[in-house]
Amino acid sequence: MVKPKLTNLLVLGGGEIATRGFSFLAFSYLGHNLAPEDMGLYGSALAVLMFGMLSIDQGLGIHGSRGIARNPADTNSLVRRIVSVQVWLSTGVYGLIWLSTAILPLDPTLVILLRGLGLALFGAPFLLNWVFQGHNEMFWYAIPMATRQLVFLIIVLLLVRGPDDLTKLPLAEIGGVALASLIFVQAYRKKGFEFAIDLKSSWDRELFKEALPIGASNLIWALRTYLPILIVLGTLGSHDAGLFEPGHRIIMVFLAFLGVYFTNSFPAMSAAAVHAPQELWVLIRSTLKMSVLACMIGALAVTWASKLLIGLVVGQEYITTESLRSMVLLAWLLPVVACRRCAMNGLIVLNHQASEFRCSLGGLMLLVVLLIPMTSHFGLGGCSSSILIAEVFATAITWMSFNRLAKKYGIKG
């Protein structure tokens, strides 16, 4: 049976610890040196940046990684096609950000943050971590991303001393993305591959057809994850957005570590789906047991230590009844997301990403219905409850979809 490599898991885990550690140190430093209002504006701008990154990715990274895992000889062709498309997408997304900030009545500081952070989008096409994931070379998947966050941390420590330095934060993001992109491209070339782009023929209909459902699903996931902070900003104000951000950021770190496990198992699932379909369910079942159990333990730990965590990370100013309640509710996203990722990856490796997209869209639609009224009436706790309810619903329908498909193909024994 095709199995994920333990050494790769250890490398990914170490890289993720470094990546999230540097990011968390920077976040903690900012929390202790900026007011909650400032953190609310910055967190909202980062949410928009995440949407921009995923709009550029469009699922092309997952599609490319899956293609490389199945046929490594396609590497040069896939990189040329995908990077070319993403260069044009980054230009379009940044143009939309600039236009939106010119038209909408936004806080002037938020406008500066959005336009500055948006410049980092031009480096997104050159973040070739998906290439090394496809080749099962997780060292080069992890190291540039850790370097990105280290550079971000160093620049933050050098430039940010207080609220007056808030608008300098985009420099840190741009610097980190630029260096990570350079490392990825150089590592790719040193592996003997040819790095080339073709902007004149970058519209690739077949590529979009295959990848767009994955990209749309990822974008919907980002909306379900990051739209709430924008709703809190618009509904309750920047102070409450700042109180929501620490708990949300802490849970996102836990989810990132969960992502390491699924990143490592994805190439094995992709290969099994083609070469040994009957073994796919064995991989999914073992992944489900291990990830959900670990996440249950993590959720219980966060529930017990929520006050301690927020106090240590960003300071006592951020500890309120609302912020603690919000963080505890978000903690229970961990086992729910773990459960959903198993079925989601199963659908993707079987080339049924359109089904996964419909499930993601269902979760988003429920979130949109719940988010504004529950946030308005119940504050941060209502916002977090909306996220949790929508994720449970999306998980249920994703597993229903995968079970129907598995039964159709006779995968489950």
How many CB atoms within 10 Å of residue 288?
A: 17
pLDDT one-digit tens code per residue, 158-169 = 999 888 899 999
Residue 409 has pLDDT above 70, yes or no: no
Q: What are phi and psi of 351, to 5 degrees?
A: 65, 30
- The pTM assigned to this predicted structure is 0.73
Q: What are phi and psi of 350, to 5 degrees?
A: -90, 10
Cβ pair 344, 352 in contact under 8 A: no
Cβ pair 268, 283 in contact under 8 A: yes
Cβ pair 406, 355 in contact under 8 A: no
DSSP per-residue letters across 21-67:
HHHHHHHHHHHHHS-HHHHHHHHHHHHHHHHHHHHHHTTHHHHHHHH
pLDDT one-digit tens code per residue, 240-252 = 888 998 888 888 8
Q: What are phi and psi of 42, to 5 degrees?
A: -65, -45
The lowest-confidence range among 3-17, 118-132, 257-271 is 3-17
Higher-pLDDT residue of 171 and 263 is 171
Domain residue spans of the chain: 6-409
Give the Å distances, CA to CA, from 399 to 11, 262, 273, 280, 350: 30, 16, 17, 15, 14
Element (H or E) spanning 123, and its range? Answer: none
Cβ pair 158, 172 in contact under 8 A: no
Asked whether the CA dihedral 37, 38, 43, 46 is positive or negative, the reply is positive
Residue type at position 302:
V
Check residue 192 and report its DSSP letter: T
Report which of 171, 72, 154 is spatially closest to residue 118, judged by C-alpha positions.
171
Distance CA 245, CA 24 (A): 12
Check residue 127 and report its DSSP letter: -
The two three-digit tokens of residue 354, written as one number: 């359109």
Q: Which residues, 6 or more positions from 385, have their beta carbon under 8 angstroms from its beta carbon? A: 329, 370, 374, 378
- The radius of gyration computed from the CA coordinates of the chain, to the nearest angstrom, equals 21
pLDDT one-digit tens code per residue, 92-108 = 999 999 999 999 988 89
Distance CA 145, CA 219 (A): 21
pLDDT level of residue 63 (50, 70, 90 thresholds) = confident
- pLDDT at residue 276, as a whole number: 62
- Residue carrying structure tokens 């592996």: 191
Please give the mean pLDDT across all residues of the chain.
84
